[in-house]
A and B are shown apart, each in its own frame.
Chain A
């Protein structure tokens, strides 16, 4: 098909929108509500272009026709775009000018040359202070990105538009707070929001306070995926591994010990792998489903009660909770510090972990959870020159980890790590190639088979909860299932650096697998410190002490 864009002849395929055609040809059109891979909402009206007869159409939802002539940057388009942006949200813009925040909308306002607020702000709306996700309706411009993500990617349906015209606003049903509905706290809406109307519940001030307190022994642990993403907040290219710099920076912030959640991940594999072998021996409890992702756990508690009844869920706590428990017991005893004086801070890519640490049944060892973004703010608060720090190592014992733990941050990583250990524990043979290629990649659902000493284990991996719903429809076809709520795994979690781009996520994942390759030990059970902790403290996997410290229970929650 031949069309003309800005007087230039362009050939285009059928089935692509005008916006996509323009993007392919290097023509920039500003968008706000548009999200790749999701159906266009055509709400924000910023992507308008002019047709030959002077009509303005939204390029995200219109398709080219033979002989069409389009102008993407005429005076008419420019003027309309500017007014549309001005109308979107006067109050937000007012705040933009004052605080110069770095959101998509603020960037657009700058690009479109808007320098003053001409329209009256809309009326005041409420601020929803959730346990881990905060929603400020006053900043919202009704673009619908959060609603689309909650609906089409997570299939959680916690929020939708209510009322219409100028009363229209995003809300959980009956104007409830996110805390009181089936919101899983995954934070994907934070990642989608172009105006910062949704954000994480900060624990930063609390952490700064305990760091000042001389009586407290403050311990920090960092999740597997932080080291591949934190650098982005300091203008390093995506996919830069900053493990050493991160440890050095955290020490300079005043943390007494810097431990690695990867140790907890290795421990999770020992417990979960043993649980799988136990289930194989008893031949019941299939499929077994991983429980590292707190957003998935909450999702399951709301919508899949039969998985609790049939004991399909592994009873393992998530890695940072395991490590939290150990810090308050094993480490406290070893370092001779009273448990009450130890404060554990987890640095996580995740907002659901904030909710998880408040679960009463966990008797959580973790006191505060910081997201990757908060951590960057913490480091900035202490004026640390992150880029030029020299590398440092984690503190010993609870800071040692293997390549199996490193890949926990990517979808399929937990499965691959568990298979490496389960294979060797079940067969007693050495695993020659530790790479399970079937578990890797960004596909929504991945499946495969592995032979564990005569028993064929059919495994499946899902990321994004809509995919999880699809997978669970045929769960009986599998023995071992890994589910992570965020598309791509923790590496694109709700607490990771903004904005989200698929290319960035890919680079972060590459970095994580690079870290796995780089490490001398790549199977969790080979970690000498894991062996030591079982000998000295826990006994063996699934022992009474392990059960008490490292395992948990699940509860049914209302699906509404």
Chain B
């Protein structure tokens, strides 16, 4: 199974997501039923089975962030990007996800965009960050 995860991560690294075709190819290569590959790929929230936006926004909703108003930030982002969490914008620029603790409880609410971490979020700060992304 750890071998499978390695392969899945590699595919995602190359293509941004794990397509049906790649799952089938991997199934043949590793002799693992495709239903099991799909099961693994959907179990981990870091793996995606659908095409993702250029920027993947993961916003923390664990207790510290929650108590510091992460729900308001999530709602604001959803309104701003005109998508619900778990979806991708039509222009394929942004995908929005709610995630678990990313270890920035001291500067809650926090979020990740790609590998970059942003903390102490406010609506104004969100506007600025989104504006700064290409």
Contact = CB atoms under 8 A, between A and B. Distances in A.
A227 to B, nearest CB: 37
A179 B79 CA distance: 38
A172 B35 contact: yes
A162 interface: yes
A173 interface: yes
A186 interface: no
The secondary structure that dominates the A interface is loop
B20 interface: yes
B91 to A, nearest CB: 24
Nearest to B19: A174
A382 interface: no
A160 B27 contact: no
B11 interface: no
Contacts of A162: 38-39, 42-43
B126 to A, nearest CB: 27
Interface centre among A160, A163, A171, A173 (most CB of B within 10 A): A173
A173 B27 CA distance: 12
A173 B33 CA distance: 9
Given A157-B33, A560-B24, A560-B27, A174 B38 contact: yes
A80 interface: no
A174 B43 contact: no
A158 interface: yes
B23 interface: yes
A26 to B, nearest CB: 39
B50 to A, nearest CB: 10
Contacts of A163: 42-43
B89 interface: no
Given A160-B35, A560-B34, A173 B23 contact: yes
A466 to B, nearest CB: 13
A161 B36 CA distance: 8
A158 B42 contact: no
Interface centre among B23, B35, B37, B38 (most CB of A within 10 A): B35
A171 B37 CA distance: 12
B27 A161 contact: no
Given A173-B23, A174-B20, A560-B27, A157 B42 contact: no
Contacts of A158: 35
Contacts of B24: 560
A159 B38 CA distance: 10
A164 interface: yes
A327 B49 CA distance: 50
Interface in A342-356: none
Interface centre among B33, B37, B49 (most CB of A within 10 A): B33
A172 B38 CA distance: 9
Interface residues of A, number: 14
B43 A173 contact: no
Contacts of A159: 35
Contact of A157 (B20, B36, B43, B49): B36
Contacts of B37: 173
A158 B34 CA distance: 8
Contacts of A560: 24, 27, 34
Contacts of B27: 560
A148 to B, nearest CB: 13
Interface centre among B23, B24, B39 (most CB of A within 10 A): B39
Contacts of A173: 20, 23, 34-35, 37-38
B49 A160 contact: no
Contacts of B20: 173-174
Nearest to B28: A559
Contacts of B35: 157-160, 172-173, 181
Nearest to B41: A162
B45 to A, nearest CB: 9
B49 A164 contact: no
A172 B35 CA distance: 6
A160 B27 CA distance: 14
Interface in A159-184: 159-164, 171-174, 181
Contacts of A171: 38
A161 B38 CA distance: 9
Interface centre among A162, A171, A172 (most CB of B within 10 A): A162
Nearest to B39: A160
A445 to B, nearest CB: 22
Nearest to B27: A560
Interface string B1-43: 0000000000000000000100110010000011111110011
Nearest to B35: A160
Given A162-B42, A560-B24, 13 more contacts: A157-B34, A157-B36, A158-B35, A159-B35, A160-B35, A162-B38, A163-B42, A164-B42, A173-B35, A173-B37, A174-B20, A174-B23, A560-B34
Interface of B: 20, 23-24, 27, 33-39, 42-43, 49
Interface of A: 157-164, 171-174, 181, 560
25 contacts: A157-B33, A157-B34, A157-B35, A158-B35, A159-B35, A160-B35, A160-B36, A161-B39, A162-B39, A162-B43, A163-B42, A164-B42, A164-B43, A171-B38, A172-B35, A173-B20, A173-B23, A173-B34, A173-B37, A173-B38, A174-B20, A174-B38, A174-B49, A560-B27, A560-B34
Closest 9 pairs between A and B when the two form their complex, measured CB to CB = A157-B33, A173-B38, A160-B35, A160-B39, A162-B42, A163-B42, A173-B34, A173-B35, A157-B35
